[in-house]
Amino acid sequence: MGRLFVILMALLWTSGVQAAEPFWLGADISGTSELEARGVQLYNAKGEKRENTELMKELGLNAVRYRVWVNPKDGLCSKEDVLQMALRAKALGLAIMIDFHYSDWWADPAKQNIPEAWKGMSYKQMCKALAKHTEETLRLLKDNGVDVKWVQVGNETTDGFLWDVGRASTNMKHYAGLTKAGYKAVKKVYKDAVVIVHVDCGCDIKRYNFIFDGLKRYGAKWDMIGMSVYPYWDQDTSLETEWQGTVRDFAYNIRVLGRKYNCPLMVVETGVEAKKPVEGKVIMKAIIDASKNRTDGFCKGVFYWAPEAEGHYPLGAFQNNRPTAIMEAFTEAAK
């Protein structure tokens, strides 16, 4: 039976029929090395000690995401730190997403600060610096045997990045040019990597039309649209009145955007309130179900952001350094 299966798979491969790609269930666990530096020990639901990457796989995840900062003061999330975390994921057979923030610290819709070493550069110089940083980081990973499946060129670039040089609302042409430089750098190292442009608030299609119409107008490329889906923040900013509205609207928007731009999408960030794990599990199940079954196949996966985070961040998925019921939504989806 085993030999027959191998022969059958070989025939399918040579005839051009390949196995379907899995639906990706992932988590951004960029804070792993920071937790370890602080001496934090994680456990599974049974109370058994676990390393974070190992725990994610045990929970049913098949992918992880790591952010990269340019010159972080403490070395956390530097390219060298990311390499050490990525080697763990490689050993466990997890697919890897790299998320370039193009900053020395957090980059998001509220702040896209130019790295200290890049300040004072002209637009052309910044394009070269961005490409060099992107290529060097990815080359370090590749030279150490790490395969990278997806690469984000910027994090939540709702108004571009590297402000004010690449602020989309005031200079879309420069934002597009910087994105183009990142895209080319990725393909130079990993020609088959999926390049993602990431925008927040998946329930609000206006910001997606703004960014992707602009990128298209100036000839920038992307392979996939990355989306943040946070019912908690949508209600906090009055974009939605209930979590069901977020789920309904992001799924609808994925269908519209997928057809408009002829590309796949991914929920590269999501999260729910850690202090409400029972409700959180219900919401996460709805988000995963909508992503898989209500997007006409355009959505390829869901990534939880920093599930292990506790205390300082309200949307983790752990309590007492253990996963809550929220993560059961992923475990059940994996089955």
pLDDT at 1 over 80: no
H helices of the chain, in order, are 2-14, 32-37, 52-58, 79-91, 123-143, 168-189, 205-217, 231-236, 243-261, 277-293, 328-334
Q: What is the per-residue pLDDT across 259-273, written as a single tens digit (0 to 9) for each?
A: 999 999 999 999 999
Alpha-carbon distance 286 to 59, whole Å? 18
Q: Give the rounded percent of residues in the chain with a pLDDT score beyond 70.
A: 94
Architecture of domain 22-334: Alpha-Beta Barrel (3.20)
User: Domain boundaries in the chain?
Assistant: 22-334
Q: What is the per-residue pLDDT across 42-57, written as a single tens digit (0 to 9) for each?
A: 999 999 999 999 999 9
Q: Are 317 and 327 in contact (CB under 8 A)?
A: yes
Q: Would you give the distance in Å from CA 207 to the centre of its chain?
A: 18
294, burial (CB in 10 Å: exposed 0-12, middle 13-18, buried 19+)? middle
pLDDT at 20: 85
- Mean pLDDT over 135-142 rounds to 98
pLDDT at 10 over 90: no
pLDDT at 5: 45
